[in-house]
Amino acid sequence: MTVRVSFLGGLGEIGRNCATIEIDGRLAMIDAGLMFPEEDMLGVDLILPDFASVIERAGDLDAVLLTHGHEDHIGALSYLLREVNVPIYGTPLTLALAQARIEEAGLTAEMHPVEPRTWVEAGAFRFTFIPVTHSIPQAGGIAIETPEGIVMHSGDFKLDPTPLDKRTADLQTFAGFGRQGVRLLLADSTNAERPGVVPSETTVGPRLREIVAGAEGRVIIACFASHVHRVQQAIDAVVADGRKFAFIGRSMLRVSEIAGRLGLLETHEGHLVELSDLLDLPPEKTAVISTGSQGEPFAALSLMAAGEHRSIKLDPNDTVIISATPIPGNETKVSRVINNLIRQKVSVFHGRNTHVHVSGHAAADELLTFYNVVKPQALIPVHGEYSHMVANAALGEKVGIEEIAVLEDGDAVVLENGGFRVERRAVPASYVYVDGSGVGDLEGVIRDRRHLADGGVVIVTVGIDQRTGDVVIGPEVDSHGLTDEPKDLHDLIVERVAKGVESLERPIDMDTLRRRIRNSAGRALKGKMRKRPFVVPVAIEV
């Protein structure tokens, strides 16, 4: 019986983590994550996996299995659920975070919380979750029984020996599967190029306490809202210094409420207050735990740094701790926030100048240890840029894994009769863009926006008499964003467009008129400017 694992996203990129596994014509999806746009993706809000291959087989989809609650693993669920109705499996925190997003979208879903190391059956699939440590509580790897043997997904993980919640990666269970035989392992690649091991999350707490204790005025700590253990260490640091604190930022408020309700976050009674009450206290007795560690333009910290936050105005005595490092692609935005903070003369500590952050992804030595424990017959590096996956493949070769393939989005690996083969471009995997309320393939729109940003725009308006076809308005020319516009350019465009329109057969077809306006204006611009502005033809019937 054939087992096929197809990758809809997450290979060669940070985000959009999504794969399907197919057994005897039935499908299960592992994660449904989103990706945040790069700076040249003008106007785009989010980027999703291409669910087309799943939606056209919606009746075959038995389950969605979620490894953990980060947006790059659960953030696209609501877009999938608009098209299909499918039960979702994950740990309680993962499901609670997913549920909040799904409800925001006005949808409902069938949620099934799972206990670690407990076998679950969903349609054609039998699987179990295995605890791992990561930068969010209740993360897990997944082992799936198949006719070709165990297929395992590591989830995002590291081998933290002293996690804050004492919930270490369950190497004993992983080793049990290794002795039983793991046919295929999909493994986190994010830190494969990094030698050694990643320090424990608990090493961050003492440094946070030192900085808070030495702060003269108010303390502002920014981190990922979903990094509940980091939020906990921030809370512990400010409480130890006798400070009251408030949460700021929509996601921070939402996640802290969920984590507190599940018993995963301790806010220390009497120390958590509303922001309005906090602002009435002496600054040296207060702290704020905020969103904005990635320089998001409208996040709380970014607004504070720009002097635009409606409640908090920074003071030179303030101390800001950015307890994170930039996700690839966010470096410029984070640097901008740091520079704006320093301009306001506040003290700034961040993950690149002191030990206020550790990664949640395994470095090379941890991956080698993991492979020696799991002993997979085959390895597919996942979750990472292409260089990360190649480095991960090299680690697999180092420990003697027999079958290794570096794949890209849209590829699939097939297990059949003991064999292992790769199918390239087996499923659609292009970027699906979210732009306001629009969702779809917006490559052409983004290309036009880049063109507008790069070359400016020329708008040419022509009005014609419906009865005679004679030009009664224009040609009128309006330009925006042109930096090297020749003085005679407008006159030249008017002349070329007028001649072009005059030569059209009567009665004039409006689509033909628009093409003629665009082409005539384009010829006038050609050779006159170093860049080619975007021409917008406007044809009016009078």
DSSP 509: P
Pair 156, 60 in one domain = yes
Name residue 433's beta-bridge partners: 47, 440
Q: Tell me what pLDDT residue 444 has.
A: 46
Per-residue pLDDT of the chain (542 residues; tens, 9 = 90+): 799 999 999 999 999 999 999 999 999 999 999 987 665 554 566 889 999 999 999 999 999 999 999 999 999 999 999 999 999 999 999 999 999 999 999 999 999 999 999 999 999 999 999 999 999 999 999 999 999 999 999 999 999 999 999 999 999 999 999 999 999 999 999 999 999 999 999 999 999 999 999 999 999 999 999 999 999 999 999 999 999 999 999 999 999 999 999 999 999 999 999 999 999 999 999 999 999 999 888 889 999 999 999 999 999 999 999 999 888 778 888 999 999 999 999 999 999 899 999 999 999 999 999 999 999 999 999 999 999 999 999 999 999 999 999 999 999 999 999 999 999 999 999 888 886 555 655 554 455 555 455 567 788 888 887 677 677 787 888 776 665 555 667 777 777 777 777 777 777 777 777 888 878 777 777 766 666 777 788 877 77
Nearest to 323 by CA among 387, 197, 254, 238: 238
Q: Tell me what pLDDT residue 46 has.
A: 82
Angle at the Cα of 258 from the Cα atoms of 253 and 262, rounded to 5 degrees: 145
Domain membership flag for residue 448 = no
113 φ/ψ angles, rounded to the nearest 5 degrees: -70, 140
Instruction: Give 282: exposed, middle or buried? Use CB within 10 Å, 0-12, 13-18, 19+.
Output: exposed
Single out the residue in 350, 376, 402 at which a domain terminates. Answer: 350
Tokens of 380: 């597919």
Residues ≥6 apart with Cβ < 8 Å to 320: 219, 220, 221, 222, 301, 314, 341, 346, 347, 348, 349
How far apart, in whole angstroms, are the C-alpha atoms of residue 21 and residue 153? 11
CATH number at residue 123: 3.60.15.10
443 φ/ψ angles, rounded to the nearest 5 degrees: -55, -45
Residues ≥6 apart with Cβ < 8 Å to 482: 455, 456, 458, 529, 533
Pair 399, 251 in one domain = no
Single out the residue in 293, 315, 350 at which a domain terminates. Answer: 350
- CA of 467: how far to CAs of 319, 324, 463, 464, 506, in Å? 72, 67, 12, 9, 10
Pair 140, 231 in one domain = no
The helix (run of H) or strand (run of E) holding residue 290 is strand 286-290
**Omega of the bond leading into 376 within 30 degrees of 0 (cis):** no
pTM: 0.82
Pair 176, 317 in one domain = no
Q: In 323-401, where do the E strands start and end?
A: 347-350, 376-382
- CA of 153: how far to CAs of 66, 271, 340, in Å? 11, 40, 41
Domain membership flag for residue 450 = no
CATH number at residue 503: 3.10.20.580
Nearest to 218 by CA among 301, 269, 279: 279
Pair 187, 151 in one domain = yes
Q: Tell me what pLDDT residue 519 has.
A: 82
How far apart, in whole angstroms, are the C-alpha atoms of residue 451 and residue 531? 10
Nearest to 314 by CA among 303, 299, 298, 325: 303
Its domain, for residue 161, covers 3-196+359-440
Q: Tell me what pLDDT residue 460 has.
A: 85
The helix (run of H) or strand (run of E) holding residue 245 is strand 244-248
Pair 184, 96 in one domain = yes
Q: Where are the alpha helices (DSSP H) in 8-130?
A: 52-55, 71-74, 77-81, 92-104
DSSP 4: E
Sheet architecture: strand order including 534-541: 471-480, 457-464, 534-541
Domain membership flag for residue 231 = yes
Domain membership flag for residue 249 = yes
Domain membership flag for residue 449 = no
Domain membership flag for residue 451 = no
Q: Tell me what pLDDT residue 1 has.
A: 79
On whether the CB atoms of residues 151 and 5 are closer than 8 A, the answer is yes
Q: What is the 3-state secondary structure (H, E, C) of 444-505?
A: HHHHHHHHHHHHCEEEEEEEECCCCCCEEEEEEEEEECCCCCCCCHHHHHHHHHHHHHHCCC
Domain membership flag for residue 447 = no
Q: Tell me what pLDDT residue 42 has.
A: 47
Question: Which own/partner pairs from 506-512 qualify as long-range (CB within 8 Å, at least 24 positions apart)?
Answer: 506/468, 506/469, 507/469, 508/464, 508/469, 510/539, 510/541
How far apart, in whole angstroms, are the C-alpha atoms of residue 492 and residue 482? 16
The helix (run of H) or strand (run of E) holding residue 65 is strand 61-65
Q: Tell me what pLDDT residue 479 has.
A: 74
How far apart, in whole angstroms, are the C-alpha atoms of residue 133 and residue 143? 16
Pair 174, 46 in one domain = yes
Strand 219-222 and strand 244-248: the pairing is unpaired
- CA of 249: how far to CAs of 308, 350, 416, in Å? 14, 19, 49
Single out the residue in 350, 369, 387 at which a domain terminates. Answer: 350
Task: For tokens 């057994």, name the residue.
Answer: 23
Q: Tell me what pLDDT residue 538 has.
A: 81
Tokens of 536: 């917008």
Instruction: Give 515: exposed, middle or buried? Use CB within 10 Å, 0-12, 13-18, 19+.
Output: middle
The separation between the first and the last C-alpha atoms of the chain, rounded to the nearest angstrom, is 68
Pair 181, 34 in one domain = yes
3-state secondary structure of 517: helix
Pair 511, 428 in one domain = no
On whether the CB atoms of residues 128 and 119 are closer than 8 A, the answer is yes
Domain membership flag for residue 8 = yes
269 φ/ψ angles, rounded to the nearest 5 degrees: -55, 130
- For the chain, what is the domain count? 3
Tokens of 434: 């979210």
Residues ≥6 apart with Cβ < 8 Å to 474: 460, 461, 462, 463, 494, 497
Pair 365, 267 in one domain = no
Pair 471, 523 in one domain = yes
Question: Quick one: CA dihedral 345, 286, 272, 263, positive or negative?
Answer: positive
**Omega of the bond leading into 507 within 30 degrees of 0 (cis):** yes
3-state secondary structure of 244: strand
Amino acid at the residue 266? E
Pair 30, 111 in one domain = yes
CATH number at residue 342: 3.40.50.10710
